Structure 1
C-alpha cells in the first residue's frame, strides 16, 4: 500500500542558535507539536538525526532519510551558529490523517503563530508525494518535489492539501476543507 510523504520547509527569522525568548518558544512549541503528532492516527515516522543536536542539520547522520538538503532559495547559514530554518520529513498512511494532524490541536496553534517565527519567502512551505510501502523518502526527494511544486504547480509528482492526487496519479480535486 502506498504511503504519503510530507516535506516541510521554512526560513526562520532568527538562527536556531539565537538565545532569544522567541527562539526558545519556537523550540518548546515544536517539541510539544512533535510529541503530539507522533500519537496521531495515520502517522508512521519522521526523519530524525542519529546525533540530532540543534543546528547540526547539515552534518548529521540521517540514516535511510539520506543526506540533508535544502531548497536552492535558502540563502542563510549552514553552520550551528547561522542555520535559520525549520524542516520536517515525515511519512503518513493517507492525506486525511495528515490533514487532521496539521490543522488541529497544537500544530494548528503553532500555525497561527508562524509569522512570528518564519519569514515570508514566496515559496511553498510544504509538499506531498506518494511512495511505495517500505520506501523511505529522502531529504533530496523533498527538496526536489518542493522546487517542482514551486516551478510547475501541483501534479501527481508534488502536490498540496488543496490540490491532492491519488496514489495512482489521478486528481482528487481541490479539498475545500484544507488550509494553506
Structure 2
C-alpha cells in the first residue's frame, strides 16, 4: 500500500545556534511538536540523525534517509555555526493523517508562529508525494520534489496538502477528520 512522504523546508531568521530567545523558543516548540507528531495516528517515521546531534544537518549520518540536502535557493550557511534552516522528512500512512497532524493541535499553534522564526521566501515550504510500501525517501528526493513543485506547480509527482493527488495520480481533496478544527 502506498505511503505519503512529506518534506518541509524553511529558512530561519537566525542560525540554529543563535542563543537569542526566539531561537530557544523555536527549539522548545520543535521538540514538543516532534513528540506529539510521533504519537499521531498514521505517523510512520521521520528522518533523524544517528547521533541525534542538535543543529548538525550537513555531514551528519542520516542512515537510509540519505545525505542531507537543501533546495538550490538556500543561500545561508552550511556549518553548525551558520546553518539557518529547518527541514523535516517523514512518512505517513496517508494524506489525511498527515494533514490532520499538521493543521491541528500543537503543530497548528506552531504554524501560527512561523513568521516569528522563518523568513518569507516566496517558495513552497512543504511537498508531498507517494512512495511504495517499504521505500524510505531520501533528503535528495524531498529537495527534488520541492524544486519541481516550485518550478511546475502541483502535480502527482509533487503536491501540497491544498492541491493534492491520490496514489493513482488523480486530484483529491484533503479535509480534517470529523470533530477536529483547524
Q: 1:176 to 1:90 in 2, by over 3 A?
A: closer
Q: Which runs of 5+ in 1 are unaligned?
A: none
Q: Deviations for 1:7-64, whole angstroms, at most 9, x for unmatched residues?
A: 0000000000000111000000000000000000000000000012122100100000
Say if 2:46 is the partner of 1:57. Answer: no
Contact 1:3 1:132 in 2 (8 A): yes
Match of 2:81 in 1: 81
Q: Deviations for 1:64-94, whole angstroms, at most 9, x for unmatched residues?
A: 0000000000000000000000000000001
Contact 1:54 1:80 in 2 (8 A): no
Deviation at 1:176, TM superposition (A): 6.9
Q: How does 1:1-180 map to 2 (within 5 A)?
A: 1-172=1-172, 174-175=173-174
Q: Which runs of 4+ in 1 moved over 3 A?
A: 174-177
For 1:151 and 1:175, how far apart are their aligned partners in 2?
23
SS at match of 1:109: helix
- Using the size of structure 1 for normalisation, the TM-score is 0.96
Contact 1:162 1:176 in 2 (8 A): no
State the Cα RMSD in Å. Answer: 1.0
For 1:156 and 1:66, how far apart are their aligned partners in 2?
23
For 2:68 and 2:161, how far apart are their aligned partners in 1?
25
For 2:149 and 2:59, how far apart are their aligned partners in 1?
27
- Using the size of structure 2 for normalisation, the TM-score is 0.95
How many residue pairs match? The answer is 176
Deviation at 1:175, TM superposition (A): 4.2
